[in-house]
A and B are shown apart, each in its own frame.
Chain A
């Protein structure tokens, strides 16, 4: 079995870059709240998606449309339109999290492949089988909380494909349930599609060269002049807590997932697709990460030891981890 390499595309140029660098499929979203990377200046218009689908298909690559945020009452039309438009433009699958959206795809577009987003946080065979049975889900994107041994076991108990993250953001909250941003900014990662909206992020340079990161009214970190930085997300902030003298990373340090060294084990465990996170990243990131993983996956499949370029310069906080995939004790 040859696993697919699923690559991020935040813009049409990034889509073309990913395809040219060896992506088997790219995933992308529309310029609205229907996907979990609803960032300013990012994503696709229907016209851009049509051109992207054409470009990818002409080169043998697939396009997966992320419609993976959760509609609230009265806003379902936006999600329905996203699905209908994707189907009309010939995307190869839609990635959904909400059961209403999943049901809509299953009923109205029974021929359209349905993938279950990591945002659905389905990690048990029972939950995954439910989605397969009720909506005909063909692939589940697993949350980043399972060890390779657990993935191998899950694979034996489910009748659908598995996709795992192999590089990028190291999300640890129960996916699709985190309300930290909502608490601070009033906007929801899961329903508005944006964590730490840029309009509410401020970097204040202090006279001593430190930089304070503020989200809304809250200071969430302060970097010394020579410290590495991370994303301005609450989960990667440093806080004063009664049990500690210094401010510390109460949830998680700025660190990125990099499973390059586990590729052989993941392939052996039966993982059908590897996902690279980073629709908010640049073409330079896409070119470098996709190119490197393309080579590494092909080498593993050819029975060779993968040569892995050092990608640490691209990682958050300039640090990488195999996270829970290696052990449940990564912190």
Chain B
């Protein structure tokens, strides 16, 4: 068994969650985020094994852009890309924003999201399983680490997102 898989194609349409931000403003923030995570959790890369060079596209259905992740410790890439110009990837992960946040937060089970079709995976399944296992072995919460980068405002935003995610989970 591999675990993980495929989401409802009916997940909220792209762009319903946020107005399109100028992506160039996001890039330095995303770079900082991924560097911070790599610095705090260097062991994460061991579990990725040969897939640390894989190109993952992460598609939070409500966002007007997708995220490109290449978890190569020598050349980390994490950037926002417009949906129109989506790059080639080895694997694609699509789900609702709050579900993806829950996965990174250690609060959601990827297999359960797969069973209920809330999570969609295409491409190299083995690379995705490695990424999932690597992230799940991170103690505590990556979301908190990232929020901590931005001080009190960052933590306040994460708390608000978690509240919204919980409300959504209860109403599901």
Interface residues of A (CB under 8 A from B): 10-14, 16, 39-42, 169, 195-199, 201-205, 209, 211, 213, 223, 225-233, 254, 280-285, 288, 313-318
Contacts and interface: CB of A to CB of B under 8 A. Distances in A.
Contact of B106 (A39, A228, A282): A282
Contacts of B2: 39, 196-198, 201, 231-232, 280
Interface of B: 1-3, 5-6, 8-10, 47-49, 51, 102-103, 106-112, 114-117, 120-122, 124-126, 128-134, 136-139
B9 A209 contact: yes
B47 A41 contact: yes
Q: Which 7 A-B pairs have the closest CB atoms?
A: A41-B133, A41-B130, A11-B137, A198-B2, A198-B126, A41-B47, A199-B126
13 contacts: A39-B129, A198-B128, A203-B125, A211-B117, A225-B10, A228-B117, A229-B115, A233-B1, A282-B103, A284-B102, A284-B106, A313-B116, A318-B116
Nearest to B1: A231
Nearest to A231: B1
A203 B115 contact: no
Nearest to B103: A282
A236 B98 CA distance: 29
Given A11-B133, A280-B111, 10 more contacts: A14-B137, A40-B126, A41-B47, A41-B134, A169-B1, A201-B2, A211-B117, A229-B114, A229-B115, A231-B1
Contact of B3 (A16, A223, A226, A281): A281
A203 B122 CA distance: 6
Contacts of A209: 9-10
A226 B115 CA distance: 11
Contacts of B48: 41
Contacts of A283: 106, 136
B133 A285 contact: no
Contacts of B112: 285, 313-314
A231 B115 CA distance: 8
Contacts of A16: 139
